[in-house]
């Protein structure tokens, strides 16, 4: 016992000649027999009550399939006899020898540990020498099987820890006996035949993956092969793009064979390029093929490489972490084992052939700054954005080639390790994706921008949404879409940033700003910018005023307004006046076609996707002053419930209204009963010290986990300032996974503590709320048109001590109200832009 036996055959029937007597012998000796059925070839064993047959689907991906096999082996236990279908059939699902080799390398040792016997087969000349070598190295027994006019010849190539004088000679099968060829004439004859059978030419050296692309190039050179081209587009899409049907249908329509072969030219490793890469390329192709507008004159060319998803699993297998990954897949290890695995993944080693390709790519980019972005299989898909769940890193890319390479490898490891982030794991589990294939591909791009002395950054960057879920003024059309603009790198557009405010643009009213008065223009503006400091070789955040006063921005008049009042104030103090600028983007929005162009882009993409979209972009001005837009990302954007109407009651006694306001909410039209309120008292929270504020955040996480299913206990979470901030003075520093079970959240403006809501449209936090269908309110109690009835809440019984006895000392700060008997309802109507939360009893 304890053998893995691999048969290398020309035909499945030859493998079957060995499987049948093996199965009969196993059953005759009362051993359990398990048949792993996954191939398209005929059954090796017929249905039989004595044989346990598992039907597996390799099309769901390497991880899903391998995990299934691993779990079956674990559940079956020791001393089992196994028959596997021909491994070569997996090429139809995985398209690369690499992953078949990886599967065998992780499965064979596990079978050996459990003292099993397992039969495998591979087809001769279907695999690269390297794959066969990996199988030979891992298995205990490797047999070459030949059929010479009905006569079966067995040539043992490996028999671990076994030896006889005739063991490695060719043997002729004679009934149940195998007769070694001892005569030199017979041996020479059969070995000559075997040599001829093996002489298959140079193609034999190629991975199945490379053979597909060779075939594609041959088809491309044949102008008459029209149908073959279309068929090959579908074939390559299934191995490069992914498995999501809606995305594949768009790719089939907007990608040519040339497009897919261009991707292959810039692909490191094998496998899928991931959701982020697909979204970016698809959006660009949609625009380029738009007959109503010349997008080539508006778009900046992208300069990208792709690290295939198979590199991720090869990294896991090569470093010996597969058993740990299987342990992480269990309920008990889902979070705990992930911590150990993440710490190991930051220090792994890449295969030599991958290192070489990394080096060639970095030589291509030279010392141009690059960004390495996550592009996992499930990322940016319909229904699953994974916004901000995985890491992306800027590389200023300065220093010696060795230093640049070392930093790049470090960044790749960190992004791979981010698959084990708690927020990512929580997101996957909550959306039913915990057991799905989630390989991490990467998108490596030249950073869009310009050298400005020792700094590098674009003129502006931003996020665009084709549907504005958070209109802040009555009369605005949500379908017009919106932008979130920043000066410098786009990180401040996609992340919630402390005490800083990007420019929010409603595309049907681009000059109307989401604040009340002129003084707020200076308070709610961008004060810092993210840039790459090439001299220090690092990502940095600098005051906007410093950058603008250095005159590094040639188009300053389009982006900023001169602050005459600040100059007058300086003069009144007897100081020399200085140039003070406020980033408004007003001139850009009013004197250039920028807003109209972005509106057209969003609507064009939305019409083809047949779904609202979310994009990321940069804008640069070329030497002639022409504006160029670099479309960096495009993904479907969920807008649940945004098109329906809800009639709001007009005549409600004021004392029964908890919250009422116009606009300043996000989540569309809702009608929701509420069972619980969690209210963070602003004054009490502001009085806490730093460590106590973090402790309150962890308490919220515990209360969130107690909610469990939001349908059972619909909860409204109310607190001062920004939820999810990293600076406790600005709000409550929770992670999204600590509030993901609530039904609605409210950010309360508390002026005394400088705790102000952040209408962070387009950020990753915003995406999380949209995807989890969490209703959002920005509440300004001091406004005349807003009702926020804190007096009613003060009269309610706080049940915090009952729910969390260890945190009873926070009862003055964290107030939990059970309102199941109060008939509390939350209603909003997207059309009238009104919302109300009131008591029915």
CATH number assigned to the domain comprising residue 502: 3.30.470.20
Q: Which distant-in-sequence residues (6+ apart) come within 8 Å of 246 by Cβ? A: 382
**Phi-psi region at 551: left, alpha or beta (left = phi > 0; alpha = psi -120 to 50):** left
State the pLDDT at residue 805: 95
State the pLDDT at residue 383: 59
Helices 309-318 and 352-365 pack at an angle, to 10 degrees, of: 140
Give just the sign of the alpha carbon dihedral 309, 312, 318, 320. Answer: negative
641 occurs within a structural domain: no
230 occurs within a structural domain: no
Percent of the chain with pLDDT over 70: 88
Check pLDDT > 90 for residue 531. Answer: yes
Residue written as tokens 């989540």?
Answer: 667
- Rounded to whole angstroms, how far apart are CA atoms 249 and 222? 25
SS3 state of residue 5 = strand
- Rounded to whole angstroms, how far apart are CA atoms 604 and 631? 13
SS3 state of residue 359 = helix
- Rounded to whole angstroms, how far apart are CA atoms 372 and 395? 8
- Rounded to whole angstroms, how far apart are CA atoms 406 and 79? 46
Check pLDDT > 60 for residue 569. Answer: no
Encoded tokens for 19: 């499987």
Give 751's pLDDT tier (boundaries 50, 70, 90): low
* 69-102: burial string, b at 16+ Cβ within 10 Å, e else: bbebbeebeeebbbbbbbbbbbbebbbbbbbbbb
State the pLDDT at residue 253: 94
Same domain assignment for residues 659 and 617: no
Same domain assignment for residues 698 and 813: yes
State the pLDDT at residue 166: 86
For the segment 686-698, the average pLDDT, to the nearest whole number, is: 94
For the segment 183-201, the average pLDDT, to the nearest whole number, is: 63
Same domain assignment for residues 290 and 350: yes
State the pLDDT at residue 637: 80
Give 755's pLDDT tier (boundaries 50, 70, 90): low
- Rounded to whole angstroms, how far apart are CA atoms 342 and 406? 19
730 occurs within a structural domain: yes
Other Cβ atoms less than 10 A from the Cβ of 573: the count is 6
217 occurs within a structural domain: no
Specify the higher pLDDT residue, 564 or 749.
749
DSSP tag of 755: B
Assess contact for 456 and 394: CB atoms under 8 A. Answer: no
Specify the higher pLDDT residue, 756 or 136.
136
Q: Which candidate, 218, 292, 300, 306, places its Cα nearest to that of 257?
A: 218
- Rounded to whole angstroms, how far apart are CA atoms 505 and 403? 41
Encoded tokens for 769: 């709320």
Q: Is 574 exposed, middle or buried (0-12, 13-18, 19+ CB in 10 A)?
A: exposed
State the pLDDT at residue 206: 75
Q: Which candidate, 473, 373, 559, 482, places its Cα nearest to that of 762?
A: 482
Assess contact for 550 and 620: CB atoms under 8 A. Answer: no
Same domain assignment for residues 527 and 667: no
Q: Residue 91: give its domain's CATH number.
A: 3.40.50.300
SS3 state of residue 661 = strand
Same domain assignment for residues 405 and 347: yes
Same domain assignment for residues 486 and 551: yes
Lowest mean pLDDT among 53-67, 430-444, 734-748: 430-444
For the segment 140-167, the average pLDDT, to the nearest whole number, is: 88
Same domain assignment for residues 498 and 480: yes
Mean pLDDT of the chain: 87
Same domain assignment for residues 492 and 630: yes
- Rounded to whole angstroms, how far apart are CA atoms 638 and 385? 9
Percent of the chain with pLDDT over 90: 58
Q: How far is CA 389 from CA 328, 422, 495, in A?
A: 18, 9, 12
State the pLDDT at residue 191: 65
Give 202's pLDDT tier (boundaries 50, 70, 90): very low
Assess contact for 76 and 53: CB atoms under 8 A. Answer: no
Specify the higher pLDDT residue, 409 or 725.
409
Check pLDDT > 80 for residue 243. Answer: yes
Bridge partners, 3 (sequence order): 117
Alpha helices in 11-61 (DSSP H): 12-28
In the listed set 610, 636, 662, which residue is the last one of a domain according to the structure? 636
- Rounded to whole angstroms, how far apart are CA atoms 526 and 524? 7
Give 757's pLDDT tier (boundaries 50, 70, 90): low
Encoded tokens for 438: 């989630």
In the listed set 395, 416, 447, which residue is the last one of a domain according to the structure? 447
Assess contact for 17 and 119: CB atoms under 8 A. Answer: no
Assess contact for 266 and 306: CB atoms under 8 A. Answer: yes
Q: How far is CA 337 from CA 325, 328, 342, 572, 701, in A?
A: 8, 5, 9, 64, 21
State the pLDDT at residue 670: 86
Encoded tokens for 512: 């109307």
776 occurs within a structural domain: yes
User: 306-358 pLDDT, tens per residue?
Assistant: 999 999 999 999 999 998 998 988 888 899 999 999 999 999 999 999 999 99
For the segment 408-417, the average pLDDT, to the nearest whole number, is: 96
Bridge partners, 564 (sequence order): none
Same domain assignment for residues 455 and 554: yes
Check pLDDT > 70 for residue 192. Answer: no
Q: What are phi and psi of 501, to 5 degrees?
A: -140, 115
Give 34's pLDDT tier (boundaries 50, 70, 90): very high
Same domain assignment for residues 179 and 65: yes
Q: What is the rounded (10 degree) CA torsion for 500, 502, 506, 512?
A: 60
For the segment 30-49, the average pLDDT, to the nearest whole number, is: 93
Which of 481-495, 542-556, 558-572 has maximum average pLDDT? 481-495
Q: What angle do CA 506, 511, 512 make, to 5 degrees?
A: 70
Other Cβ atoms less than 10 A from the Cβ of 163: the count is 7
384 Cα distance to chain centroid: 8
Characterize the bridge pairing of strands 560-562 and 670-674: unpaired
Q: Which distant-in-sequence residues (6+ apart) come within 8 Å of 591 by Cβ? A: 558
Check pLDDT > 50 for residue 553. Answer: yes
User: 603-634 pLDDT, tens per residue?
Assistant: 999 999 988 899 999 999 887 778 999 999 99
Q: Which distant-in-sequence residues (6+ apart) come within 8 Å of 715 by Cβ? A: 674, 675, 676, 677, 678, 707, 741, 742, 743, 744
User: Of all helices (H) and strands (E), which one includes residue 665?
Assistant: strand 665-666
Give 179's pLDDT tier (boundaries 50, 70, 90): confident
- Rounded to whole angstroms, how far apart are CA atoms 650 and 283? 45
State the pLDDT at residue 737: 85
Q: Give me the domain span that covers residue 178.
A: 3-203
Check pLDDT > 70 for residue 385. Answer: no
- Rounded to whole angstroms, how far apart are CA atoms 109 and 98? 18
Bridge partners, 635 (sequence order): 614
Task: Please state the pTM of the whole predicted model.
Answer: 0.80
Lowest mean pLDDT among 56-70, 229-243, 426-440: 426-440
For the segment 278-284, the average pLDDT, to the nearest whole number, is: 96
Lowest mean pLDDT among 642-651, 734-743, 744-753: 642-651
Residue written as tokens 């109690």?
Answer: 781
372 occurs within a structural domain: yes
State the pLDDT at residue 646: 79
State the pLDDT at residue 187: 67
Give 644's pLDDT tier (boundaries 50, 70, 90): low
210 occurs within a structural domain: no
Q: Which candidate, 531, 491, 483, 588, places its Cα nearest to that of 369?
A: 531
Encoded tokens for 156: 């043992």
Check pLDDT > 70 for residue 201. Answer: no
For the segment 565-593, the average pLDDT, to the nearest whole number, is: 74
- Rounded to whole angstroms, how far apart are CA atoms 37 and 82? 11
Check pLDDT > 50 for residue 762. Answer: no
- Rounded to whole angstroms, how far apart are CA atoms 44 and 64? 23
- Rounded to whole angstroms, how far apart are CA atoms 68 and 166? 40
Assess contact for 304 and 635: CB atoms under 8 A. Answer: no
Encoded tokens for 786: 């807003």
User: 770-792 pLDDT, tens per residue?
Assistant: 667 788 888 989 888 899 999 99
DSSP tag of 42: P
What is the end-to-end Cα distance of the chain in Å, rounded?
A: 73
In the listed set 182, 203, 224, which residue is the last one of a domain according to the structure? 203
- The number of domains in the chain is 4
Same domain assignment for residues 460 and 440: no
Same domain assignment for residues 595 and 659: no
Q: What is the rounded (10 degree) CA torsion for 158, 160, 166, 172?
A: -50
169 occurs within a structural domain: yes
DSSP tag of 382: T
Encoded tokens for 377: 């299989």
Q: Residue 369: give its domain's CATH number.
A: 3.30.1490.20
User: 476-498 pLDDT, tens per residue?
Assistant: 888 899 999 999 999 988 876 66
Q: What are phi and psi of 807, to 5 degrees?
A: -115, 20
SS3 state of residue 790 = helix
Lowest mean pLDDT among 15-19, 393-397, 547-551, 608-612: 547-551
State the pLDDT at residue 174: 83
SS3 state of residue 464 = strand
State the pLDDT at residue 30: 92
């Amino acid at each position: 016992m304890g053998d893995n036996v691999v048969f290398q055959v020309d035909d499945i029937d030859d493998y079957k000649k060995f499987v049948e007597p093996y199965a009969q012998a196993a059953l005759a000796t009362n051993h359990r027999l398990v048949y792993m059925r996954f191939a398209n070839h005929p059954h090796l064993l017929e249905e039989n009550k004595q044989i346990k047959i598992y039907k597996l689907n390799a099309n769901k991906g390497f991880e899903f399939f391998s995990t299934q096999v691993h779990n079956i082996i674990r559940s079956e236990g020791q001393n089992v006899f196994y028959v596997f279908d021909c491994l070569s059939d997996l090429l139809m699902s995985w398209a690369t020898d690499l992953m078949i080799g990886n599967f065998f390398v992780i499965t064979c040792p596990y079978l050996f540990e459990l003292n099993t016997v397992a039969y495998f087969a591979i087809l001769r000349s279907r695999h690269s020498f390297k794959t066969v070598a990996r199988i030979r190295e891992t298995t205990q027994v490797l047999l070459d099987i030949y059929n010479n006019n009905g006569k079966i010849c067995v040539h043992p190539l490996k028999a671990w820890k076994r030896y006889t004088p005739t063991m490695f000679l060719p043997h002729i099968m004679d009934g149940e006996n195998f007769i070694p060829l001892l005569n030199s004439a017979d041996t020479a004859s059969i070995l000559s035949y075997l040599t001829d059978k093996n002489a298959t030419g140079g193609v034999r050296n190629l991975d199945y993956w490379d053979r597909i692309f060779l075939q594609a190039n041959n088809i491309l050179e044949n102008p008459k092969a029209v149908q073959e081209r279309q068929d090959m587009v579908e074939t390559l899409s299934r191995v490069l793009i992914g498995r999501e049907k809606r995305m594949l249908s768009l790719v089939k329509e907007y990608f040519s064979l040339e497009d897919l072969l261009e991707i292959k030219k810039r692909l490191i490793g094998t496998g899928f390029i991931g959701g982020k890469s697909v979204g970016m390329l698809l959006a660009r192709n949609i625009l380029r093929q738009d007959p109503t507008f010349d997008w080539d004159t508006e778009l900046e060319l992208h300069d990208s490489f792709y690290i295939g998803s198979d590199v991720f699993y090869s990294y896991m297998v090569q470093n010996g972490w597969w058993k740990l990954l299987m342990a992480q897949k269990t309920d008990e290890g889902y979070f705990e084992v992930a911590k150990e695995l993440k710490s190991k993944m930051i220090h792994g080693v890449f295969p030599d052939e991958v290192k070489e390709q990394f080096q060639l790519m970095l030589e291509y980019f030279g010392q141009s700054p690059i960004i390495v972005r996550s592009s996992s299989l499930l990322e940016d898909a319909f229904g699953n954005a994974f916004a901000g769940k995985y890491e992306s890193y800027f590389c200023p890319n300065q220093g010696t080639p060795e230093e640049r390479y070392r930093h790049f490898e470090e960044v790749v490891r960190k992004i791979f390790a981010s698959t084990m982030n708690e927020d990512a794991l929580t997101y996957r589990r909550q959306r039913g994706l915990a057991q799905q294939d989630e390989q991490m591909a990467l998108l490596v791009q030249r950073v869009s921008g310009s050298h400005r002395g020792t700094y590098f950054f674009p003129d502006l960057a931003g996020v665009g949404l084709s549907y504005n879920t958070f209109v802040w003024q009555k009369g605005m059309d949500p379908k017009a879409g919106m932008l979130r603009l920043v000066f410098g790198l786009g990180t401040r557009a996609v992340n919630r940033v402390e005490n800083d405010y990007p420019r929010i643009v409603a595309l049907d009213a681009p000059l109307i700003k989401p604040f009340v008065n002129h003084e707020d223009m200076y308070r709610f503006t961008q004060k810092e910018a993210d840039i790459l400091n090439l001299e220090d070789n690092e990502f940095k955040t600098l005051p906007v005023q410093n950058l603008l006063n250095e005159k590094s921005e040639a188009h300053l008049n389009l982006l900023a307004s001169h602050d005459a009042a600040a100059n007058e104030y300086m003069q009144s103090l007897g100081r020399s006046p200085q140039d003070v600028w406020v980033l408004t983007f007003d001139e850009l929005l009013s004197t250039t076609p920028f807003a109209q162009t972005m509106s057209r882009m969003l609507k064009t993409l939305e019409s083809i996707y047949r779904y609202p979209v979310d994009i990321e972009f940069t804008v640069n001005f070329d030497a002639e002053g022409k504006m160029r837009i670099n479309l960096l990302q495009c993904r479907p954007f969920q807008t649940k419930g945004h098109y329906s109407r809800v009639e709001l009651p007009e005549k409600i006694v004021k004392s029964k209204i908890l919250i009422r306001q116009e606009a300043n909410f996000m989540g569309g039209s809702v009608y929701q009963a509420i069972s619980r309120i969690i209210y963070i008292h602003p004054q009490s929270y502001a009085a806490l010290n730093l460590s106590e504020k973090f402790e309150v955040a962890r308490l919220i996480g515990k209360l969130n986990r107690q909610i469990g299913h939001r349908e059972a206990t619909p909860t409204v979470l109310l607190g001062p300032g920004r939820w999810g901030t990293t600076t406790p003075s600005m709000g409550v520093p929770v992670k999204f996974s600590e509030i993901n079970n609530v039904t609605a959240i409210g950010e309360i403006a508390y002026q005394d503590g400088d705790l102000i809501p952040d209408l962070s449209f387009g950020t990753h936090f915003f995406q999380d709320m949209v995807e989890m269908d969490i209703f959002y309110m920005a509440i300004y109690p001091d406004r005349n048109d807003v009702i926020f009835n804190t007096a009613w809440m003060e009269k309610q019984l706080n049940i915090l001590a009952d729910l969390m006895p260890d945190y009873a000392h926070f009862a003055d700060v964290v107030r939990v109200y059970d309102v199941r008997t109060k008939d509390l309802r939350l209603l909003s109507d997207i059309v009238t832009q009104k919302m109300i939360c009131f008591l029915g009893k």
